Structure 1
Amino acid sequence: MAQDVLCEVSSCVHNITSQNKCGATQIYVVNHKDNNASSSAETDCKTFEPADL
């Protein structure tokens, strides 16, 4: 299992901006559609929560 999850989404509350890491306790990624994804562009991070910027 991954120890460090990198993230460049600075508008997410879980982003540790000084390190570009995700600070969430778990990550939830889903397909755009009901089929299996064949590229990262066909997935979404459901862990995202907007930060108060």
Structure 2
Amino acid sequence: SNSIPVNTEDSIAKQWLFEPTKKISSEDLNTLYKKEARRDERNKAKMTCLLATT
């Protein structure tokens, strides 16, 4: 069976989660959410492609 590549790099949200003493501005938070949403969309597209080719 083919192995599915997995991104082992921690997401931006997880990086912030483990650094609770840092402050984040609302603009940075919005940017964070947008980046996470784009990453999620890319992951969904990759998974759809992988499922379609198996």
Q: When the two structures are superposed, what TM-score results if normalisation uses the length of structure 2? A: 0.20
Structure 1 or 2: more helix by fraction: 2
Higher Rg of the two aligned structures: 2
Q: When the two structures are superposed, what TM-score results if normalisation uses the length of structure 1? A: 0.20
